Chains A and B, each alone.
Chain A
Amino acid sequence: MRALLVPRRLIMLALAVALVLWCAVSLRWDWLGNPKYQALIMQGIWNTVWILAVTMVLGMLLAIPLGLAQAVGPWYLATPARVFCGVIRGTPLLLQLWLLYYGIGTLFPSIPWIRQSELWPILRQAWPYAVLALTLSVAGYEGEVMRGAFKGVPHGQLEAAKAMGMPRFTIFRRIWLPQALHRVLPTLGGETVLQMKATPLVATITVVDIYAVSSRVRQDTFIVYEPLLLLAVVYMAIAALIVLLFKWFESRFPNKAA
């Protein structure tokens, strides 16, 4: 708190407050009072948050075998894993998303039985493609990170466990994986923020996230900057929450090695 009480920071704070007040008074915020938009905004934030959470968790689950395969796997596992990570990291997510959604969509008319299948009510919606594309993206980037993390676990630890006669899977579960995860934990908050910044792309395939809601308001009311400002504030708030969450997380698992 005391760090804020330096004169230059007080002036900056005053300027910031003045800016916020100016925005509140002289820009148009009447649309925020419309219950239709309030409901949409809540729905949009919820969609953004759950898509982010689900894809991070699923992506990390995929990243573990991808990292392991690259770090110690035989060539027939390591090469596909490396190619997968290279392709995901080497092409824009927007393109991957459109390929999955519209590319696969063009195949549906030529495969008639899909529409009769049980899965059709899910396949015809947009969110499964959004979740798939974002999950693969996390898996690709984090697979690379996990590779380094697996490699970084000191060999002595693994050898000690082996010498104790620990079965291979137990070594992995009790020693190797926890230590590797511990290594990536400090970077995970930043990666989650990066993933959050990728979520608005799903609006381009008709998923109603908070970005889509702000576009909707802009289109309906022709108010350009205010919904964008709100959007920026919402994303900054989510980013702050992510950072705080991971800080708390890290404090629960202090880095003994350090």
Chain B
Amino acid sequence: MFAGALAASTLELLALSPPGWGATLLSGLANSVLIALGAFALGLAIGVGGAYGKLYGSPLVKDLLAIYTTIVRAVPELVLILILYFAVTDMVNQALISFGYARIQISGIAAGIGVLGVVQGAYATEVLRGAILAVPAGQIEAARAMGMPATLLARRITLPLMLSFAIPGLANLWLVATKDTALLAVVGFAELTQQTRQAASTTKAFFTFFMAAGVLYLLLSIVSTLLFNRLEQWARKGQRSMGG
């Protein structure tokens, strides 16, 4: 109750125009969503390659992918972000300088997408691998027996069938992506959590701002869940229900 009364007195700090910080929080949310989308897409691209590599690649490819997924799944995202954020930009720049080019500056958004995408990729690899394995072998064999070429088989049979198995896992990954963007606050990137922290420490209304940001994240998660449920229904169209 007490917290509620205290928060009410600082509610005008959330107004959309200054002196309210609402617009700043929303721009932070937009940045978070942008990075999450980019990281999810990059992760998906890595995941498709990784899953095919793990299932059908050469032994060497399989080993390398195993090392990649093991490391990413055992080391905290925060540590990976710091290593990739500093080390990768450093290496890129050292390489550029040694080849006689000027150093480039990697934008915060690009670095965030790159780092979280590499993390997402490892999990997406596992999700998609599981989904491909779940596609009934009979379907693929039937298509092969009809003489369907490999790419057409992937496009017409494996991928659509796999999608319905993969969606729950991918939905989960997307939620992880939106939440992991908060970790970029630690490297100072202006996403929602960082903007919230700045607003909170400038106005001293820590409670109000952290609660407001919590509501924004929650809305994002609820909307995403609804969308993914729709998507799952659509992807399962024409399939018998997976009862039991």
Contact = CB atoms under 8 A, between A and B. Distances in A.
Contacts of A102: 200, 206, 210
Interface residues of B, number: 44
B31 interface: no
Contacts, number: 120
Nearest to B208: A103
Interface in A94-124: 94-96, 98-99, 102-107, 110-111
Contacts of B71: 232, 236
Given A12-B63, A225-B87, A228-B82, A199 B206 contact: no
B210 to A, nearest CB: 4
> Which one of B206, B211, B213, B222 has the greatest number of beta carbons of chain A within 10 Å?
B206
A224 B86 contact: yes
Interface size range of chain A in the complex:
35 or more
Considering the complex of A and B, which 8 residue pairs feature the smallest CB-CB distances, nearest first? A90-B221, A92-B182, A239-B74, A99-B210, A197-B76, A103-B207, A92-B179, A102-B206
Contacts of A9: 63
A201 interface: yes
Interface of A: 6, 8-9, 12, 86-87, 89-96, 98-99, 102-107, 110-111, 193, 196-201, 204, 211, 224-225, 228-229, 231-232, 235-236, 239-240
A201 B78 contact: yes
A64 B59 CA distance: 43
B92 interface: no
A86 B63 CA distance: 37
A193 B72 CA distance: 11
Contact of A197 (B63, B77, B175, B193): B77
